[in-house]
Amino acid sequence: MREPNKKLMKIINFLIAVFLGTTFYAQEIQVTGKVTDASGMALPGVNVIVKGTNNGSVTDFDGNYTVNNVQSSSVLVFSYVGFTTKEVVIGNNRQINVTLEEDFESLEQVVVIGYGTQTKKEITGAVSVVGADDITDLNPVRVEQALQGQVAGVNVTSTSGSPGSASNIRIRGISTNGDSRPLILVDGNVIEDLSTVNPNDIESINILKDATAGIYGVRAANGVILITTKSGRKNQDMTFELNTYSGFQTTTREIPVLNATEYGLIINEAYASGGEQLPFPDVSGLGEGTDWQDEVFKVAPISEVNFSVKGGGEKFSYSSSVAYLNQDGIVGGSKSNFDRFTGRINYTLEIGENLKFSTANIWTKTSRKTLPENVLGSVLFNALNMAPTFTVRDENGDFTLAEGLGNEVINPVAQVANTFNDTWVDKIAATFGLEYNFWDVFTAESRFQFNYSEVESKFFSPEVFYGAGKVFNVDRNSITESKNIFRDFTWDSFFKYENTFGDDHNLKALLGMSVFRTSGDFSSFTGFDIAGNSYANASIANASDVVDNFQNGGDSFDTRLLSYFTRVQYDYQGKYLFSAIVRRDGSTAFGPKNRFGYFPSASAGWVISDESFVNTGKFLNFLKLRGSYGIIGNDRIPAYRYVSLLNGEGAYVIDDELRFGTAIGALSNPEIRWEKQKTLDIGFDARIINDQFDITFDYFKKRTEDLLVIAPVSGILGVGAPGSSPPVINAGIVENTGFEFRIAYNKRFSDNFSFNASYNFTTLDNEVIFVDNDNGFIPGGSFGVGQDPPSRMEAGKPIGYFYGLQTNGIFQNQAEVEAHGAQPNAAPGDLRYVDIDGNGIIDSNDRTDIGNPIPEFTMGLNIGFNWKNFDFTSYSFASLGNDIVRNYERNQPLVNRRIGFLDRWTGPGSTNEFPRVTTAANTNNLFSDFYVEDGSFLRIQNVQLGYSLSERFTEAMGIDKLRIYFSVNNLYTFTEYSGYDPSASSGAPIGGGIDQGFYPVPRTYLAGVNLKF
């Protein structure tokens, strides 16, 4: 009997254990925690739900939550508008703190659209958003750099890689021969110079690309960029954030040129071909010689520190920051430097129940040192053309003179040492606003914004001798000191009405006015004979003779705008969307007859996925069709060009003496009128496969009519005199058409791993439709010395296309020269030009279209993932289909040459690409497609790897987050272009894409820390 009892007891004990284990496992517990955003700020109002149930909670003002009656096996779902939903398995945890990441793909994400906001679902225009995380990943010195490759339809090109240099921003192509810059607003304030904005202060960047930008009126024709800086939240504990990085910069490449021995051999060959005595009878001792690019390129340091604080109380919120950036240049080191200090404070206060005050203020102080760049005679131009047989200094320790190399080529190291060009900028940008809500549906708002900046510059030109006949020799030293004051203010006042009727009809209306005034005062004096020929003594006070550079006027400007605008937005059931805008702008840029213009636009959308007949399952989650059309005006021309002003300089002979006085300045045109841009956009937005893929597509067409251009006129009219210029006229039509596409993928595979990627591309077809002048074209740009302008604006062609001779190989023998017949002075080894007009002679009439500086296709690819505490991002950008003119070679007998000339023509059949070298007269230096190269490139813009300490360590240290990272900007560029940088451009609509030795964008290695506490 005992054996069965033992078995029974074992069964009973097993059942008791199972019961107790099941009871313990199913025990309901309480879970608490805190929810914050990526910056460590608490998030009130977050929904915390037990997955698959209605049990849950909402976070309080401090981000805290408590969920009762939860099982250990359950999953908590954290969701908040504008943030990515997060799921967490409870397990053995009783306290779960969660950080939510902002979701800029969310349909409920609030987007600034101009005097208001909309959710992404409601938007009917072409609007793109760049978030703070993208900016942080890129670590840009300037804001513009964060846009390249991030937004379809936005192309950013560098004017230079020198510290503090600006970039060109083009939204959907070049629309005018005049000013193609978009309108940029920071917290509603117009900002022209983005060097004064610290990228770390930015919360988001919204880009308005179509006619819906017309709400901003006159200057919105080229698109609008809305920058919102970081702000605090109400009922938020004070939090601190420290972001700092340090690193170094190097050049991405050096252009291969001949070393001293190769140079000697090539020069000897050229002189022998010309029947002259050999300059280097014995080349055996020349060796490698001086690498002038190594002498001017430096490893340059860069560092930045940014400290911010933000928080809020029951009725107020605040955010402030200070930052300091220092960057040396890769050319010339500290002689090419940018230094920036930024202070910012944002503050909001609820004065009463319905009245709110807000202010945003930025103070920036910058200093910049520059060297001559992207011009004939720049430092890099000289480094490429300087003979490698010269040493940097002679046996006496003095800089070597560049004798025999032509009038423009000088010792680049001596040039750096003798360049003193400093600029200092102090700028204050501030916005003050009041917002009053009444009767539940009305809001009255008034904003006053102003910018004030003082720009001081000091240019010292010491007495210096670079060699016999050099154009840069200075016989008498001079100092030029300038101080320019710029000020502008904008006053916007408007009413907003917002109401819902019958739950289905939603109406918003806006009615307002805007006043804008900008003015400036210039002063500049040049003094001579500084004692000691020293920069330390260089000041106007120490000069012997002083000249007022504005003695004939032109030392001030004052322009104004007055605008009235209205907008109506309506939707039915959130799926039929409509918006209409009318803006009346008045500008002092035009005469009384044409001063005011009316500019309407409209857009509509249809959320197809909300229709009952559409099956929105796991594949199709959202689909919206939208379109817009409108007319936007543009007045970006110099002030008062409709009247004649006495601000030119006249030279008169009085009593047999030459005297200077005042004369008529720029020629006037009282008939000039608004430039008008007509914009069409049709697109759709879609989300598919459980919202993992976000797709946007747009077709756009921009037609700019009545282009405001500078008219080419006869020199008899005196337009070449100091202070004078040709008149501004309405004389052209330009059209841009293209497609934009973006697809983004975002998925969290587990608690430890998430992945995201986005790809975008833009196609662009730019065509000049009409040019209204006697020539039928407008020339521009420069090539070589004394040659005709290489670029044109002409009907049927892209704006600024390259106009020159077309080559057809190289003459291999005398028989080919004679058979061609059109080049009587040609010889074997010379470039063979095509006789386009067939008249039997090569001349300027044989010039034709030989290249397009505008890319036909641009794209960006961004990839990122998070694995446990590691994060990785990579950004790439490509530009395809544009051409670049190689104009950094000086065609003189003794200058250095690119290494490609080792494959020069040396006899019949040797090559059909590089012409012979010779000192004899030839036409190989005429502008032709020999100097035009494919500028297409693919650039890995940024690669970054970061590591965040786990919460166990950060809590022990009393901080919210500590992240360290390493990044490389401008990692590598894949291109066949032989110059320094295929991404650089002067930005000129006519004459852009001509490379005179662009200062390349540096490769930057950084190590940084993000600390939040």
Measured CA distances, 138 to 130, 144, 328, 697, 862 (Å): 12, 11, 19, 25, 11
Phi-psi region of 642 (alpha: psi -120 to 50; beta: other; left: phi over 0): alpha
The span from the CA of 490 to the CA of 508, in Å, is 24
Decide if 747 contacts 692 (C-beta within 8 A): yes
Q: How far is CA 565 from CA 227, 598, 605, 681, 713, in A?
A: 22, 10, 22, 22, 39
* Gap between the Cα atoms of 650 and 662, Å rounded: 5
Identify residue 694 by its one-letter amino acid code.
D
Q: Which residue has the tokens 């740009």?
A: 781
Q: Give the pLDDT score at 625.
A: 96
8 Å CB contact between 697 and 744: no
Among 766, 698, 585, CA closest to 176? 766
The pair of structure tokens assigned to 10 is: 């074992």
| CB-based burial label for 442 (10 Å; 0-12, 13-18, 19+) | middle
Report the alpha-carbon distance of residue 205 to residue 222 in Å, rounded: 16
pLDDT at 715: 63
Bridge partners of 359? 347, 432
Look up the CATH architecture of domain 110-239. Answer: Beta Complex (2.170)
Name residues whose C-beta falls within 8 Å of residue 955's C-beta, 6 or more positions apart in sequence. Answer: none
1013: nearest Cα among 971, 976, 960: 960
539-547: long-range contacts (C-beta < 8 A, 24 or more apart)? 539/479, 539/481, 540/479, 540/481, 542/479, 543/478, 543/479
DSSP category for residue 762 = E
Can you read off the two tokens belonging to residue 426? Answer: 């102090």
Token pair for 58? 């909402």
The pLDDT value given to residue 72 = 79
Q: How many other CB atoms sit within 10 Å of the CB of residue 792?
A: 25
**What's the rounded Cα separation, in Å, for the pair 342 and 321?**
8
Residues of the chain with CATH 2.60.40.1120: 25-99
Mean pLDDT split into 10-residue runs, the chain, 1013 residues? 52 48 56 81 84 85 86 84 80 85 72 85 89 80 83 88 88 86 89 82 90 87 90 85 95 95 95 93 93 96 95 91 96 94 95 92 95 90 95 94 92 96 95 94 94 95 94 94 95 94 92 94 93 92 89 81 95 93 92 91 94 84 94 84 73 71 76 91 93 94 90 64 76 94 91 91 95 86 89 94 96 93 90 93 94 95 93 94 92 91 93 92 93 95 93 84 93 94 87 89 95 90
DSSP 780-822: E---TTTPPPSEEEETTS-TTEEEEB-EEEE--SHHHHHHH-S
Residue 336: the pLDDT is: 93
pLDDT at position 19: 43
Q: Read off the tokens for 103.
A: 């979701």
Residue 25 confidence (pLDDT): 42
Distances (CA, A) of 598 to 491, 628, 640: 20, 17, 21
Q: Which helix (H) or strand (E) is 493 found in, with range?
A: strand 478-501
Tokens of 276: 């002259």
Neighbours of 993 (CB within 10 A): 28
Please choose, from the candidates 466, 450, 462, 465, the residue with its C-alpha nearest in 3D space to the C-alpha of residue 419. 462
Q: Cα 841–846–847 angle (5° rounding)?
A: 150
**Vertex 77: Cα angle to 71 and 80 (nearest 5):** 150
8-state DSSP, 845: G
Parallel/antiparallel/unpaired status of strands 333-350 and 355-369: antiparallel
Closest residue by Cα to residue 730 from 635, 649, 859? 635
Q: Write the single-letter amino acid at 193.
A: D
CA angle, residues 175, 176, 179, in degrees to nearest 5:
110
> Residue 157, SS3?
strand
Cα–Cα distance list, 236 to 44, 144, 201, 311 (Å): 9, 32, 19, 5
For 818-840, the DSSP string reads: HHH-S-TT--TTSEEEP-TT-SS
Look at residue 7 in the predicted model and tell me its pLDDT: 54
Among residues 360, 311, 322, the alpha carbon closest in space to that of 1013 is found at 311
**What pLDDT, on the 0 to 100 scale, is given for residue 218?**
80
pLDDT value at residue 445: 95
Closest CA relative to residue 826, chosen from 836, 837, 818: 818
Side-chain-facing half-sphere of 683: CA atoms under 13 Å? 28
The residue with tokens 């009725």 is 315
Residue burial 260-272, b: 16+ Cβ < 10 Å; e: rest: bbbbbbbbbbbbe
Domain at 25-99, CATH from 3.40.30.10, 2.160.10.10, 2.60.40.1120, 2.60.40.10: 2.60.40.1120
Residues 197, 143 contacting (CB under 8 angstroms): yes
